[in-house]
Copies of this chain bind each other. A is one copy, B any other.
Amino acid sequence: MNTATPARTASDENLDAVFAALGNSTRRALVTRLGAGDATISELAEPFDMTLAAVSKHLLVLERAGLVVRTRRGKARHCRLDANAFETAEKWLGSRREMWESTLDSFADYVEGHHAEEAGDASTT
């Protein structure tokens, strides 16, 4: 009966990457740091108690999630934040919240007993 499994879309995979990337405090710290301005890998690695290679891998994860762009600049490598991926995540969260709130609203309407003439009762959305 259930060979369903809602079909992973491309945007699903992107959300996977974005949220998973942010699900690590080292990477969030890197993002925070980059929010204050671009930096090289060494600069980014400096405050952390781990090897440069480890930080480099974290940056790779962020890059694959579309959160960070790395560009070559001489022998150094320049890292910059990319806002698009953040928007993807924020949009997802926002739309869930909207959905959730509208459900709560329609429930409140139902409980209170008046007819919610705007938009019907949305319970089948």
- What per-residue 1/0 map shows which CB atoms of A8-42 lie under 8 Å from chain B? 10001101111111111100110110011100000
A6, B35: Cβ atoms closer than 8 Å? no
How many chain A residues have a CB neighbour from B under 8 Å? 48
A83, B124: Cβ atoms closer than 8 Å? yes
State the CA gap A76–B25 with chains docked (Å): 36
Contact of A47 among B2, B32, B47, B90 (CB under 8 A): B2
B96, A49: Cβ atoms closer than 8 Å? no
A-B contacts, 11 of them at CB < 8 A, read A2-B47, A3-B49, A4-B49, A6-B29, A15-B25, A15-B28, A16-B24, A32-B96, A35-B103, A83-B97, A86-B93
